[in-house]
Structure 1
Amino acid sequence: MNALNRAFSTFENFAGWTADIPLRVFLAWEFFESGWEKFNGGNWFGDLQANFPFPFNLLPAQFNWQLSMWVELIAPLLLLLGLGTRLVSMTLIILTVVAIAAVHWPADWSSLAELAKGYAISDQGYGNYKLPLIYLVVLLALLLRGAGRMSVDHWLGQRRAAATAC
């Protein structure tokens, strides 16, 4: 049993340094891919501008397009570095909630059973909020916990602590 405890202790030590990395890489890939598609595509936000929640529904569709595109291109790079992770996570949470409201939430639903049909990857007429919801759960973990030890945030925190200790 002692060997097993040592093995788990070693594993836990390793996880303390690396557990957040797959989350950051996953989100960076997903959001960057979306931003890259916007960068190389046409603005379709004008078609759903009325679906955007306040205050984004008051902004021009071109501004919303540029804002979401640049957030989706820059935030993933910051996530990979672990730089400003909590702020980046909050920004991506807002972006994802707006996307759910404007694009992924079902237009019409009359019961919870009908709403539950939208918990899907592809839209069959009931919305498709499953993947953005997964993003929100992962972003919430990074918002609450931060980037972890293998990050620029951690390195900067150590430098700040060392500077105040002197």
Structure 2
Amino acid sequence: MLSSFYRYYLQLGRTFIHLDGIPALAIRLYLVPVFWMAGTSKLNNFDSTVAWFGNADWGLGLPLPWLMAALASATEALGAILLLLGFGTRLISIPLAITMLVAAFTVHWQNGWQAIADASAPFANASVHTASEKLERAREILQTHGNYEWLTESGNFVILNNGIEFSITYLILCLALLVMGGGRYVSLDHYVGLKHSVNCNH
């Protein structure tokens, strides 16, 4: 019984082997707008980005802020283009992963895990519990003095906690692409690899 189940399991794996590029494609397309928005936003406001990177009072207090801002901006914007094409996927995944790691520990770490404050979540910290009280107070004000139905017709109000959740998620996805590559049939990496293989055999 167990051996029959295992044979079916192996057959299932062989059946889907030619679709193994789809998860890599899905991850790439998921990350493209994330990194494009982050990179171009930094580039469009480059002076402010440099000031934020370098200021120790209200920013990150990083050394060489101009260089760090330029590297982060270029990595994210260029990374989005390369991920869209599936070209150099493993290579660009390394600096993108490093960027997310730096963001997690320099920007978001002190806020805990959650990106959005939710007091019912298992990793809710003190600031999240305080945020839920503020959110309830804000709702009361809007219900009393504002058009609450119109304001919430596109979704409920939330308070951002700005924790490490998103940056760690993107880091994990970059690590997955580092292993998977751009994906079979759905990336330039695949066809460049095929051409290289053909050339090597002649």
Q: TM-score range by the shorter chain?
A: 0.7 to 0.9
| Cross-structure match for 1:34 | 38
- List per-residue Cα deviations over 1:67-87 (Å, max 9, x = no partner): 211111111110111111111
Per-residue CA distance 1:119-141 (angstroms, 9 max, x = gap): 11147477510000100111111
Q: CA deviation at 1:102?
A: 1.7
Q: Which residue of 2 aligns with 1:163?
A: 199
RMSD, aligned α-carbons: 2.7
Once the two structures are overlaid, the 10-residue window that deviates more, 124-133 or 85-94, is 124-133
Instruction: Report if the CA contact (8 A) 2:42-2:49 is conserved.
Output: no
Residue 130 of structure 1 is aligned with which of 162, 165, 173?
Answer: 165
Which letter does structure 2 place at the counterpart of 1:134?
T
Distance 1:141 1:9 in 2: 19
Greater CA deviation, 8-17 or 96-105?
8-17
**Greater shift in the superposed pair: 147-156 or 42-51:** 42-51
Q: Which residue of 1 aligns with 2:51?
A: 46
SS in structure 2 at match of 1:19: helix
2:80 counterpart of 1:76: yes
The partner residue of 2:183 within 112, 128, 148 is: 148
SS of 1:58's equivalent in the other structure is: coil
Contact 1:43 1:62 in 2 (8 A): no
User: Quick one: structure 1 residues 160 and 14, their matched pair in 2 at CA, closer, same or farther if it must change by over 3 Å?
Assistant: closer
Determine helix, strand or coil for the equivalent of 1:120: coil
Deviation sequence 1:28-58 (CA, Å, 0-9, x none): 1101011121122252443453546xxxx33
**1:89 matched to 2:124:** no
- Aligned pairs, number: 148
Unaligned runs of 5+ in 1: 107-116
Question: C-alpha displacement at 1:92, in angstroms?
Answer: 0.1
Q: After the TM superposition, list the runs of 4 or more consecutive aligned residues in structure 1 that deviate by more than 4 angstroms.
A: 8-11, 123-127
With structure 1 as the length reference, what TM-score do the two structures score?
0.76
Gaps spanning 5+ residues in structure 2: where? 1-7, 118-126, 129-160
| Inter-CA distance 48–69: structure 2 relative to 1 (3 Å threshold) | closer
Percent identity at matched positions? 28
Q: Which amino acid aligns with 1:75?
A: G
